Chain A
Amino acid sequence: MVTLIVKPSEACNAACVYCEVDRKGWLKTKIMAQDTLEMLFKRIDEFLTARPQETIRIVWHGGEPLLIGEPFYRRVLAAQRQLCAATGRRVCHTVQTNLTLFSDEFTEVFRALGITSLGTSYDPVAGVRLLRGQNSRAYDAAFLAGSARLERAGFDWGVICVVTRLSLDRPLDLFHFLTNLAPQGGVMFNPILLDKGKQPHLAIDDKEFSAFLGAMFPVWWANRQRYPRVEPFHSLTETILSGGRRQFYCTDAGQCADTHIGIGPDGAMTHCGRSGDWGLLDYGSIHDRSFAEVFADPRRAELRRRGEALRAGACRDCDTWSLCHGGCPLDSWDATGSFHGKTAWCDNRGGFVKTYFEPITGIRVKLLEGA
C-alpha cells in the first residue's frame, strides 16, 4: 500500500508549543486549489491503473485538515468519483486532526469517503497544546466536545500523545488518562521531534523516551487484553512474536522509499509529512511529475540502499535490527545530509527491548537475520 500524506492546507487553529507549522510561520490560509486537487486524483488513477494490485491510502493531514471545512471534502469525493471511476475502490482515506473543529457537517462526507475512524492528537499535560490566542484548557474543551460529537456520529478515534520533557514524570498518569479517554480506538505515544537545539525545555532523548515507555510497559503487559491497542507496545510485541515479519510503523519498516509521498497544498511533493514540515526532499510538483517518477527519483534509490549500508556499518552487530531497520531515514538526513546513518532514537527500540521488554516478558528476542 502506498501512503499519500496530503496537506490540503498548512494553516492551523492551534498553536501547540512544539509545532513546526507554527514556528515556521506557515499560517497563510492557503487551501489546495481545485486544479491541484483534480491533478492529485489524476495521478492516483494513473498510478493505480498501471499497478492493478496496488492500493493507496490518503492521510488528510495539515495544519489542521478540518479548518478548511466540509465543502473541501465534498470536492474530494466528487474528484475521486469523476477521476478514479475504475480505481477509486482501491483508495482509502483517513484524517489526522486535532478534532477541535469537528462538527456534524463532516459526518456525511466522511462516511461517503469510507472513513470510519479518525486519528487525533491530545496531551493531558497543561500548556502544550493550545488554541490560537487561548490556553490549553480551551483546546482541551474543544477536543473533548469534538470527541463526543465524533462518538455520537458513530466514528471510532485514536489518539497520539507527543511525549515531551513536561510529560516524562507522568508515564502512568498519561497511560491511564488516554486509555480511559479513548479506550477503543488506540493510543500511541511518540517522542517529540525537534530541530537540533530548539526548545530544550521540551526536548527529550531516546533513553528518556525509552525509560518513559519502560515505566508503562509492565502495566500494559500485565493487562494487555484490557488495553489491546497501546502503541508502540502492541506493534512491537506483534513484531517480535512474528519473528520480525510483520509491518511496523513507517519509521521502523525500512520501506518508506517505496511507500510514502507527502503532498502540500500547492501540489509540492516531498518524501512524507515530516519531510514537508522540515523542508527536506523536494520532489517537484504534482502538476509536473507522476508518482512513478517520484518513486524513481535517485534519492529514493539511495534510500533503498540504506538498509544495506547500515547493516554493514552502524547497525552491524544489532540483534534487534528488524525492529527498526535503523529508524527513520529523515533523522539521519537531517543530522548529516545522508540517509545512511542510523536514527538518534535507537534506544527507543533496541534499548527498550533489552532493558524492559525481555526482563518483563521473559521473552528472549531472536529476530530473523536480515529481516
Chain B
Amino acid sequence: MTKPVLICPDDPSLLDRLAGQSLGLRVAPSADVAATVEAVRRQNGLFRLLVEADEPLAAVKPNHAWRGLPVDLMVPSAGRFADLAGRLDEVRSLGITVCLPIGGTGLRDARTLASLGIRTRLGLDGMPDWDALGDLMTYALLELVAHAPIEPFQTIADHSRTDARTTDWSSALFDDPLRFLHLSADGRIALSRRDLLNEEFVGDLAMLGSPALAEAQQARSEAWRQLFLDDHPCARCPGFRLCRGRYAEGDAKGAGMAEGCAGFFTEMAGVLEQRWLRPEARPW
C-alpha cells in the first residue's frame, strides 16, 4: 500500500513526530506559511496547504507566501462580488484552489469563480440541492466557453474515461482512506475528514505503517460492498458507479438513500458520455 498523505494541523509538537511523511497542512490564513513550509520541507514532503478561513473569499487577504505552493483556500462563500472584483487578478495569479461548501451560496459561487478562471473544489458532504448541483455539474463538464475546473467533477470526468469500473473520486476531496489519513492535533488518526470532525478515530501515530491500520484503511475503502450484502437501494441504483454509495446513509435524520442523489448521478453518467463525444458530434 502506498504511504498515505497525512492531513494534519500546523502544530509544531505534532509535526515533530511526523518526520518522513507526506503532509497536507491545515493552517490559518494568518499563519507564517513561509517558515512553516520551510520547516516541513526539511523532513517531510508537502502535499498541499489547506488554508482554513472563517471569512468569505472577498474578505480574506491573500498571502503572497502562497505563490508557487499548492494551496486550497477553504472559505464559507465567495462573498460580495463588488468586494472581490478588485482582487480577482491577485487570486488568479496565486494559482490557488478555492474550496466551497455545497450549502448557502457555494454552488453559485463555484460557477462564478470558475467562469472567472479560478479553480474551485466543492465539499460534497451533506445533502445539496441536487437540482442546482446538477446544473453546476452540467456547466462544469459540458460548457464549451472557457472556465476553470470545478472539483470533484473534473476528477470524476478524468477517471470515468479511463476505465469502466466504478469511479472513486474520494481522492479529489482528500477522503480516500488508502491515500489520505486525517490527524487531530494530539496525533489521533481518522479515516476521513468527517470522521475527524465526529472524533471517530482508528488509532494514534503509533499505528502508522502497521498492518492493523492498513486493514482498517482497506476495509473502509471497500465498505461499499456492504451495500450489496444488505441489498441496499444504492446497490440497485443506476447512479452507483459514480457515487459508490456515498449518500447511502441519507440525511441527518437517517432517512435512507437521499432523495435526488440517484437522479443526479444517473444524469451525470449521461453527461459524461456526452463529454466523451467530440464537440462536433454532440447533439447541441
List residues of A whose CB falls within 8 A of some B CB.
124, 126, 137, 140-141, 144, 147-148, 152, 172-173, 176-177, 180-181, 183-184, 219, 223, 225-226, 228
* Nearest chain A CB to B172 CB, angstrom units: 20
Are A137's CB and B166's CB within 8 A?
no
Known contacts A176-B238, A183-B165; is-contact A225 B225 (Cβ 8 Å) = no
Most A CB within 10 A of own CB, among B231, B237, B269: B231
Interface size class of B (residues with CB under 8 A): 10 to 19
Q: List 25 A-B contacts (CB under 8 A).
A: A124-B228, A124-B235, A126-B231, A140-B229, A141-B229, A144-B229, A147-B225, A148-B222, A173-B236, A176-B238, A177-B228, A177-B231, A177-B235, A177-B236, A180-B228, A180-B236, A181-B228, A181-B235, A183-B166, A183-B241, A184-B165, A219-B238, A226-B164, A226-B241, A228-B164
Do B237 and A176 touch (CB < 8 A)? yes
Main secondary structure of the interface of B (DSSP, over half): helix
B240 touches A144 (CB 8 A): no
Residues on B with C-beta less than 8 A from A124 are 228, 231, 235
Residue of A nearest to B222 (CB): A148
> Nearest-CB distance from B164 to chain A (Å)?
5
B1 to chain A, nearest CB (A): 10
A to B contact number (C-beta, < 8 Å): 50
Contacts of A183 in B (CB 8 A): 164-166, 241
- In the complex, chain B residues whose CB is within 8 Å of the CB of A173: 236
* Bound-state Cα–Cα, A226 to B236, Å: 15
Take A180-B166, A184-B164 as given contacts and tell me if A226 and B273 are in contact as well, using a CB distance cutoff of 8 Å. Answer: yes
Write the nearest CB–CB distance from A120 to chain B, whole angstroms.
13
Q: Chain A residues near B237: list those with CB within 8 A.
A: 176, 180
- Give the CA-CA distance A172 to B269 in the complex, in Å: 17
B-side contacts of A148, CB under 8 Å: 222, 225
Q: Which residues of B contact A (CB under 8 A)?
A: 163-166, 218, 222, 225, 228-229, 231, 235-238, 240-241, 269, 273
The residue from A147, A152, A180 contacting B241, defined by CB atoms under 8 A apart = A180
| A144 near B269: Cβ-Cβ < 8 Å | no
Q: Which of B218, B240, B273 is packed against the most chain A CB atoms within 10 Å?
A: B240
B276 nearest in chain A by CB position: A225
Residue of B nearest to A137 (CB): B229
Given contacts A144-B228, A226-B269, contact A176 B240 (CB under 8 A): yes
Assembled-state Cα–Cα distance A137/B230 (Å): 9
Q: How many angstroms between the C-alpha atoms of A183 and B163 in the bound complex?
A: 10
In the assembled complex, the CB of B29 is this many whole angstroms from the nearest CB of chain A, namely 41
Q: What residues of A have a CB within 8 angstroms of the CB of B218 in the complex?
A: 152
Choose one: A126, A137, A180, A225; the contact of B273 (CB below 8 Å).
Answer: A225
Give 9 nearest A-B pairs by CB, closest first.
A180-B240, A144-B225, A173-B236, A176-B236, A177-B236, A148-B222, A184-B165, A183-B165, A184-B164
